[in-house]
Amino acid sequence: MTSDSASSRKALSKIACNRLQKELVEWQVNPPAGFNHKATDNLKRWVIEVNGAPGTLYAGEMYQLQVDFPEHYPMEAPQVIFVPPAPLHPHIYSNGHICLDILYDSWSPAMTVSSVCISILSMLSSSTAKQRPADNDRYVKNCKNGRSPKETRWWFHDDKV
């Protein structure tokens, strides 16, 4: 059993519920530029449209992020992946997993969906080459049976891109 399926069966804690409701209200009043939250009645999974920023390699392109919240959010990071087809990027695998430290080891409960989205867009925007990570095939094969990226032992290549 993967931790993904294990965590998705558990309901959100009261703290998590409260906080997500507040984040949603804030998002509706003040959405981060370039993002569009697709309304559902599921507080536990958000689907967010990302528009590549003008003047970058991804200008005019549109992708979808899927954000799943664990029971003890925000004490635990949300699971954030691109719904394939994922953007071609040196830190984004073809199965949608994103190599970004704040989603794993460097998560802090003071971060929000909105701030995570902004980090992901800035990661896209600063890219200089549309290519997959060097270890893409090996990594994606290892994730075959629906493994969550939160189980991966990431080593973060660099902070620049």
Partner 1 sequence: MSPTLGAAKQAEQLRQDGNTYFKKDRLGAAIDAYTEAITLCPNVPVYWTNRALCHRKRNEWTRVEEDCRRAIQLDHHSVKAHYMLGLALLQKKEYGEGVKELEKALDLGRGANPQGYMVEEIWQELAKAKYLEWEHESTKRSWELQTLKESCEVALKEKQNRDAPETEGFVDETTMSSLDQFEVLNRVFNKAAEDDTPTEVPDYMCCKITLDIFRDPVITPSGVTYERAVILDHLQKVGKFDPITRETLFPSQLVPNLAIKEAVRAYLEVHGWAYRMD
For residue 73, the minimal CB distance to partner 1 (Å) is 11
Distance CA 88, CA 133 (A): 9
**How many amino acids of this chain bind partner 1 (CB under 8 A)?**
14
Binder among 54, 84, 85, 109 for partner 1 (CB under 8 A): 109
Q: Which amino acid, 109?
A: P
Half-sphere exposure of 108 (CA within 13 A, CB side): 4
Task: Work out whether strand 45-51 and strand 62-68 pair parallel, antiparallel, or are unpaired.
Answer: antiparallel
* Contact predicate 116/93, CB 8 Å: no
| Tokens standing for residue 79 | 């699971």
* Contact predicate 102/111, CB 8 Å: yes
Which stretch, 13-21, 31-39, 127-135, 146-154, contacts partner 1 (CB under 8 A)?
A: 13-21
For residue 117, the minimal CB distance to partner 1 (Å) is 16
Binder among 2, 8, 19, 71 for partner 1 (CB under 8 A): 19
User: Is residue 107 involved in binding partner 1 (CB under 8 A)?
Assistant: yes
The site map against partner 1 for 61-100 (x = CB under 8 A) is: -----------x-xxx------------------------
Binder among 110, 144, 145, 158 for partner 1 (CB under 8 A): 110
Binder among 15, 47, 57, 118 for partner 1 (CB under 8 A): 15
What does residue 94 show for φ and ψ, rounded to 5 degrees?
Answer: -65, -20
Distance CA 80, CA 82 (A): 7
Tally of CB atoms within 10 A around 138:
9
User: Can 17 be counted among the known catalytic residues?
Assistant: no
Residues annotated as catalytic (active site), given as ranges: 99
Q: Which residues bind partner 1 (CB under 8 A)?
A: 15, 18-19, 22-23, 26, 72, 74-76, 107-110
